[in-house]
Structure 1
Amino acid sequence: MKTSAVFSAFLLLLSLASAATTSSSSSSGSEKKTYPSTFRPPQVFKNANLVHVISLEKNYVKESINVLVENIDKSPQNEYYVPFTADQLSRVGGVEVKDRKDSSVGPFVAETVELEKSDTHYLRIRLPKALAPGAQQTLGINYYLLKAYTPRPASIKQEETQYLSYSFSAYCPSAYVTSKQKTDIKFPGTSIAEFTKLPGTGDIPEFPVQQGSKLTYGPFDEKPAGATHPVTVRYEFNKPVTHVSRLERDVEVSHWGGNVAFEERYTLHHRGANLSALFNRVKWQQSQFYQPTTWALKDLRFPLRAGSADAYYYDVIGNVSTSRFRSGKREALLEIRPRYPVFGGWKYPFTIGWNSDAKNFLRKTATGGYILNVPFLEGPRQAEGVEYAEVQVRVILPEGADNVKFHTTIPTQSIISAGIQIHRTFLDTIGRTALVIQARNLVDEFRDRELIVSYDYPLTASLRKPLVVFTSALAVFGVAWIVGRVELKFDVAAKK
């Protein structure tokens, strides 16, 4: 009787102490600039020489614009504009600008400029130092385009080869006159099925010129601002086109446990060609005996920090046993295999998680505060690459942490918002402080970019949980003692 009373009281106390709701505070990100539709960038620059490099080697597009900019105005200028369509701008991410000749120059700030009721928008680049009249500077503008490819044919058999198509402009879109330019396109292999041909100039009878796995359009003579010439290429890409529509990454810090817990929830899509017939598992198993190259996604590899432990992997059905985890002093690797091969048009949501020693990421400052240094993005490392449309990183700090600040080496143009929320769990009183950062249009080339979080954690806050546990235990035993003293016997003699 007494044991049952103690157990019931303990469960009641736990149910009252636990909470699963999260209250959020407002957070704001970088605001977009909106200009009227009549806006045109001032013609204060000229592109003396421009090389446009388009890399199609992975399942996202990486573009680099290396341009020698000359100030043709009579006054110093520090704003350079790059045009994009509205659709392109919604899929552009990871914008980074640097001086090609001097890496110490910077930082360069890139801001989005949208025009009202117009399909043409701009990326405004602010030069760290205004360019004097007649002066030149070599800019390196790098960015990524997500959801860029179209599979052609759109549907194929599971044993057939996948081809992707990409459309772009042979002339690099520019808001300024370009004196000389060329466009290089890099492919994952030499199997280029189709490409648009253009009349050549000088000694080159026809564009593009193919050299192995590269096509070159140009060099072209002077082109006016806004000049474009649409071209299309179609090439073999017999690999998965892996797209993560949303990644939710939680980093939970425990001072008392000396642990940092990681959990990542993926909503993964294959954006390649669809199957033209029903999936044949027998044929798939037979083909895997010869280990052929396939465009289906059949496994993922997650390199983790050395010392990671307790890895787990599950999907919407439950725990998945087709995984392998190796951890050592120098490296850790989690290899997972989905329940089924993921073909084009298919979706596979799943969750992974692991623990790590806090000393690998957390240190105490001389002033008594704490600094946490964790990767902003980890995720799988695949030869064909992985793109992320939306990323939410939530850093859950100990209860009572305040004065939270953060810095990340992820391009600021990709950060949508950042703010503080309250995360409540078992035995919390006021709830844990959680830093929530929303980002978009990232790729796996940003793996291991740093997220540095500084915060204060006073002694009174660190003692709050032990006091709550101690008080709760006393309350449990007190309730159990009171319940145990209750007399529940029937007085049979009095009844007679």
Structure 2
Amino acid sequence: MIWVHFSSLLIFLALGHSIAEPSSSDFAIVAERNVDLSSQIVKVTTKYELTNKAKSALNSFIHLVTDEEQAHIAYISATEEKKNAKLSISKVMLKGLKKGFVAYKVEMLESVGSSSKASVTVEYHLSEYLEPYPAKINQPDPQYMIFRGNAHIASFYTVEKESSRIVLPQGRLISHTTVMPSKHDGNKITYGPYTDQRPYTMADIKVHNENNSPFLVATEMLRSIEVSHWGNIAVEEHISIVHKGAELKGSFSRLDFQLDRRGSRRPVVTQYKTMLPITAKDIYYRDEIGNISTSSVRKLSDAIELTIQPRFPLFGGWRTNYILGYNLPGYQYLYSSGNEFALKMRLVDHLFDNAVIEHLKVNIILPEGSKNFKLTTPYPVKRGKDELHFTYLDTTGRPVIVLEKDNLVDAHIQPFVLHYEFDRIQIWREPLLACVAFSILFLLVIIFVRLDFTIVTDSAKESRLQAQSHIEQLGELHVERLKLYDSAYDVIQKYKANKDTALYTRSKKKAENDLKAVTQEIVDTQNALKFTNPDIYEKLNDVARYHKTAADLINTFFLQVERVIKGNMSNSDFISAEKQFNNKIGDVKEKMDNIIYSL
């Protein structure tokens, strides 16, 4: 029984091995190829009509490219025409593959039965494949490129019928290789049809033609995507651009450039258009010098069109560096369920038409505390070591997912999905940290302003502070003394009216005692300033003299009212004396006020 199972296993492995190794007689092929040379990217599209010549069903076929093409392939894809479905295509190693060719295996959606047919289209893009010739040109000269290829479709199988069409850009065709039958019609060169071509058939061709399209290449591009759970996604791109067309020979003439009327047929780039997501806002475009104000933004139905105009025109060999940034609303790209989040964004956005990016590095900066990352990309990328990014109020750092990819073209503008976990309660950590930090800061300020760090006492400052205290006290005593002057006058008026001698005597004595007490306080305060502030002390002596004058006026007025009551003085003389008293006492008060309030 064991031997039977072992024999069955050997038979299964042998059958599996025979299926895994395809034969050049498996399919008969009818093919049409289109080679687009209208831009800096060579776009090759090959349509296959496959007929299964094997006795059993087949679920894959082999597509070949040359070693020269393989060195420049940026993107390759396969589709089945009838179902318009994308097929899996991958590079494989085949036994017996002829040197100079690379094999790609295309997996069919359904097996192709014996004698059955299938239609498959393979498309691939070649970057930096065209060769400028001449390599250096003068400013008024057009730019010419050389394309080297094969008049036949590189095939692992027998090709029953094939034809190739090369699409040229506008401009002059210098020369092209003729492989009969072939023809040149307008901006197209057609090779074939050729029939009954054996596998690996080659016929080298060269096409030398004018091509003034932009040969801009982003040699380095650093794209940072910073995710905030507060509703914003910040995108910033550091881009290095170089024009890889024919290099400018000699000096640049601004006058000749302004007078050149060739327009778009000049081999120079003055501006190009970058497409941003339709919800992009807060867009900025700057370089080492600062903001570049020559750019403009226009909103389209499905995108934001940003016109990039460098500070100088880009001729062959010239380069420029700049920074492009914008913000996106998080709700359009960030999805969540509980503590699980998914970020779905493009790995790279549209840079310019027919762009080539030699090296792309993407830093995806997630909120602090994110964990358990799972990345899904539409094509293979190199994932670098995760890093940490620190910004405001971060403690452990924000995780950074690092992705790298070489040789990208427009076909790579596809979304990736990054799954991660984040505890929602942690979103409040930074606001709480800010509140605590500000509270501690305010507390320290409160404590600081109440501490005295002086080592030596400033006697002058202390003297000024003490003097200020005494001056304030003098002001209050001075006001009180002026009120007592008025009280003495009230005592005289009441005595004249009611002629109550006993009440008058008591009131007079009280007014004199109160005035004496306040005056003594003023004298004591004045004496306290004698040595520390002698200038103020001298001014207060003037105030004391004016007070003596006021006291004499009041005592004289007391005697005059007593004489009136006793009949020793007429009323008319008293009225005259009263008027004279008011004038003099008012003058004394004003002089005292001027001195006190000038201290």
TM bucket, shorter chain:
0.7 to 0.9
Paired amino acid for 1:306: I
Q: How does 1:242-321 map to 2 (within 5 A)?
A: 242-256=216-230, 258-287=231-260, 291=263, 293-321=265-293
The alignment partner of 1:465 has SS state of helix
Q: Which residue of 2 aligns with 1:204?
A: none
Q: CA deviation at 1:120?
A: 3.7
Q: Is the 8 A contact 2:223 2:361 kept in 1?
A: yes
The alignment partner of 1:339 has SS state of coil
Q: Which residue of 2 aligns with 1:7?
A: none
Task: Quote the Cα distance in structure 2 between the aligned partners of 1:163 and 1:425.
Answer: 50
Summarize the Cα distance change of 1:279–1:428 in structure 2 as closer, same or farther, 3 Å threshold: same
Summarize the Cα distance change of 1:253–1:114 in structure 2 as closer, same or farther, 3 Å threshold: farther
Post-superposition Cα deviations, 1:262-316, rounded to whole Å, max 9, x if no partner, equal: 111212111111112111122213337x846321111122222234222111224
Q: How does 1:339-418 map to 2 (within 5 A)?
A: 339-365=311-337, 367=338, 369-382=340-353, 385-408=354-377, 410=378, 412=379, 415-417=381-383
Q: How does 1:3-18 map to 2 (within 5 A)?
A: none
Q: Which residue of 2 aligns with 1:438?
A: 404
Q: Which residue of 2 aligns with 1:15?
A: none
Q: Which residue of 2 aligns with 1:211?
A: 185
Post-superposition Cα deviations, 1:392-439, rounded to whole Å, max 9, x if no partner, equal: 23322222223333444x4x25x3447744333232122223333322
CA RMSD of aligned residues (A): 3.0
Q: CA deviation at 1:359?
A: 2.9
More strand by share: 1
Task: Decide which of 461, 476, 485 is 2:441's aligned counterpart.
Answer: 476
Task: Quote the Cα distance in structure 2 between the aligned partners of 1:483 and 1:352.
Answer: 45
Q: Which residue of 1 aligns with 2:201?
A: 227
Q: Is the 8 A contact 2:295 2:307 kept in 1?
A: yes
Higher mean alpha-carbon deviation, 80-89 vs 388-397, is at: 80-89
Task: Quote the Cα distance in structure 1 between the aligned partners of 2:65 and 2:265.
Answer: 36
Q: Which residue of 2 aligns with 1:111?
A: 91
Q: Which residue of 1 aligns with 2:533?
A: none
Task: Quote the Cα distance in structure 2 between the aligned partners of 1:429 and 1:392.
Answer: 26
Q: Is the 8 A contact 2:38 2:213 kept in 1?
A: no
Q: Is the 8 A contact 2:139 2:248 kept in 1?
A: yes
Q: Is the 8 A contact 2:91 2:102 kept in 1?
A: no
Q: Which residue of 2 aligns with 1:14?
A: none
Q: Is the 8 A contact 1:190 1:212 kept in 2?
A: no
Matched, 1:183 2:167: no
Higher mean alpha-carbon deviation, 389-398 vs 41-50, is at: 41-50
Task: Quote the Cα distance in structure 1 between the aligned partners of 2:152 and 2:79.
Answer: 22
Q: Which residue of 2 aligns with 1:102?
A: 83
Larger Rg: 2
How many residues are aligned here?
Answer: 439
Question: TM-score, normalized by length of structure 2?
Answer: 0.67
Paired amino acid for 1:184: R
Q: Which residue of 2 aligns with 1:28?
A: none
Q: Is the 8 A contact 1:301 1:381 kept in 2?
A: yes
Q: CA deviation at 1:147?
A: 0.6
Structure 2 stretches lacking a partner, 5+ long = 1-19, 460-599
Q: Is the 8 A contact 1:311 1:334 kept in 2?
A: no
Higher mean alpha-carbon deviation, 247-256 vs 330-339, is at: 330-339
Task: Quote the Cα distance in structure 1 between the aligned partners of 2:260 and 2:276.
Answer: 31
The alignment partner of 2:453 has SS state of coil
Percentage of identical aligned residues: 25
Paired amino acid for 2:419: S
The alignment partner of 2:48 has SS state of strand
Q: CA deviation at 1:352?
A: 0.7
Summarize the Cα distance change of 1:80–1:477 in structure 2 as closer, same or farther, 3 Å threshold: farther
Question: TM-score, normalized by length of structure 1?
Answer: 0.80
Task: Quote the Cα distance in structure 1 between the aligned partners of 2:429 and 2:112.
Answer: 57
Summarize the Cα distance change of 1:71–1:481 in structure 2 as closer, same or farther, 3 Å threshold: farther
The alignment partner of 2:196 has SS state of coil
Task: Decide which of 227, 235, 239 is 2:213's aligned counterpart.
Answer: 239
Paired amino acid for 1:361: Y
Task: Quote the Cα distance in structure 2 between the aligned partners of 1:316 and 1:238.
Answer: 29
Matched, 1:455 2:420: yes
Paired amino acid for 1:359: Y
Q: CA deviation at 1:171?
A: 0.7
Structure 1 stretches lacking a partner, 5+ long = 1-38, 201-206
Q: Is the 8 A contact 1:54 1:186 kept in 2?
A: yes
Q: CA deviation at 1:232?
A: 0.7
Q: CA deviation at 1:484?
A: 4.8
